Structure 1
Amino acid sequence: MKFDMDYIAHNNELTEFNPYVKLFLTIILLIVTLALDNLYFDVFIFVVMSIVILAIAKINFRSYFKFLTIPMAFLVITCIFLLFFFGKGEVIYETGILGIVVTDDSFHYAVYTFMRVLGCLPILGFLALTTPISKILHCLRTLKVPKVMIEIALLMYNVIFIFLNEIDTMQKAQNSRLGYHSYWTSFKSLGALVSTIFLRSLDKSETLQHSLDSRGYTGELPIYEPRK
């Protein structure tokens, strides 16, 4: 199943719920989670927001899991570096490899960083998976956020989906040619994907710019205005 966040945001039980309420609730919960710095509260907010997303918004579990997968991968890598290469204090574990050790400070940094990000992910997921980007940008515009920031956010959102679509297309083409049949072919296909996707993304971005120019783009993008 392909993960399509834009489709999910338009097709869930909370899509028509007041976007201002969802936006302010997200901001308040993020501030509280980061300010408290409490492991128990992080776990609590993760469970509660996950229940809201899965049970109330009725978003498919696999879609929610895919939403968490990529940031969780970066989070784990970051915490590994924090655990082994940052912090001072008493040594609690020696790896025996090039003098790399785990200290009490580094362990504290890694655990608290992991838990705080873990608590924030479902909060952001609640807004991203239940509210279309057009409604979010309209809320920001009515709250007097500078137009240039809104337009940059809109273009970045569009380019991200272009980037993901290119990856999906290339992976399907590689799979059709047994590009991931073995470990060796998988590494080879992955290398080709990484080396090609950047150039393809630049080409798609240039096409997007030509499309904007052909439609009379003057430096300001129109923002969705809901009916009153």
Structure 2
Amino acid sequence: MKFDMDYIAHHNELTETNPYFKLFLTIILLIVTLALDNLYFDVIIFVVMSFVILAIAKISIRSYLKFLSIPVAFLVITCVFLLFFFGKGDVIYETGILGIVVTTDSFHYAVYTFMRVMGCFPCLGFLALTTPIAKILHCLATLKVPKIMIEIGLLMYNAIFIFLNEIDTMQKAQDTRLGYSSYWTSFKSLGALTSTIFLRSLDKSETLQFALDSRGYTGELPLYEPKKGE
């Protein structure tokens, strides 16, 4: 099943909840989580917000795990570098490869970075998975966030989904041609996907620009404005 965050944001039990409340709650929790240097608090925030997303908003665990999968992959890579290449202190593990070791400081950096970021992910997920992007941008506009920043955010949001849709389409095309039937073919297919996706994304972005121009785009994107009482 293809992950569609926009569909999930429009179809959950918290969609109609006040978007300002969700926005401010997310910002406060992010600030507190980043400011505190406490592993226990990070774990509590992760558990509580995950419970809210899964049990109260009733978002499927499969969709939630898909939301977490890509950022967690980058987080793990970052923490591996912190573990082996940063920090000083006493050596607690030697790899025996080019003098690469794990020290007390590097272990501390890796663990605390991992837990702190993992505490932030459900906070962002709470906002992103329960609130349509149009309502989030409207809230930012009423809070006097510069319009250029809001428009950049909207275009980036659109570009991300164009990018993901292209990857999904190309992977399915490769899969139907047995592009992932073996290790070697998978490696070749991944290389072809990587080399092609950038050009396809540029082409889609150019198409988007033509569509905007044909509809009288003058450099300012219209934003969603809810009716009174919404």
2:8 equivalent to 1:8:
yes
CA distance in 2, matches of 1:36, 1:103: 23
Equivalent pairs, count? 228
Which residues of 2 match residues 159-178 of structure 1 at below 5 A?
A: 159-178=159-178
What residue in structure 2 maps to residue 156 of structure 1?
Answer: 156
Deviation at 1:36, TM superposition (A): 1.1
2:61 equivalent to 1:75:
no
Which structure 2 residue ranges, 5 or more long, are not aligned?
Answer: none
Aligned AA (2:32): V
CA distance in 1, matches of 2:90, 2:43: 27
What residue in structure 1 maps to residue 55 of structure 2?
Answer: 55
- Superposed structure 1 runs of 4+ greater than 2 Å apart: none
2:30 equivalent to 1:30:
yes
Query: Could you tell me the percent identity over the aligned residues?
Result: 87
What residue in structure 1 maps to residue 220 of structure 2?
Answer: 220
Q: Helix, strand or coil: the match of 1:15? A: coil
Deviations 1:152-205 (A, max 9, x none): 000000010000000000001001101001111100100000000000000000
What residue in structure 1 maps to residue 20 of structure 2?
Answer: 20
Deviations 1:193-222 (A, max 9, x none): 000000000000011111111100001000
Aligned AA (1:174): Q
CA distance in 1, matches of 2:104, 2:128: 36
CA distance in 1, matches of 2:78, 2:116: 13
With normalisation by structure 2, the TM-score equals 0.99
CA distance in 2, matches of 1:92, 1:65: 33
What residue in structure 2 maps to residue 135 of structure 1?
Answer: 135
Deviation at 1:118, TM superposition (A): 0.5
What residue in structure 2 maps to residue 187 of structure 1?
Answer: 187
Deviations 1:112-142 (A, max 9, x none): 0000001000000000000000000000000
CA distance in 1, matches of 2:211, 2:87: 50
What residue in structure 2 maps to residue 198 of structure 1?
Answer: 198
Deviation at 1:103, TM superposition (A): 0.6
Which structure 1 residue ranges, 5 or more long, are not aligned?
Answer: none
CA distance in 2, matches of 1:171, 1:35: 41
Aligned AA (2:201): S
Aligned AA (1:142): T
CA distance in 2, matches of 1:34, 1:160: 26
**What is the alpha-carbon root mean square deviation over aligned residues?**
0.4
Q: Helix, strand or coil: the match of 2:45? A: helix
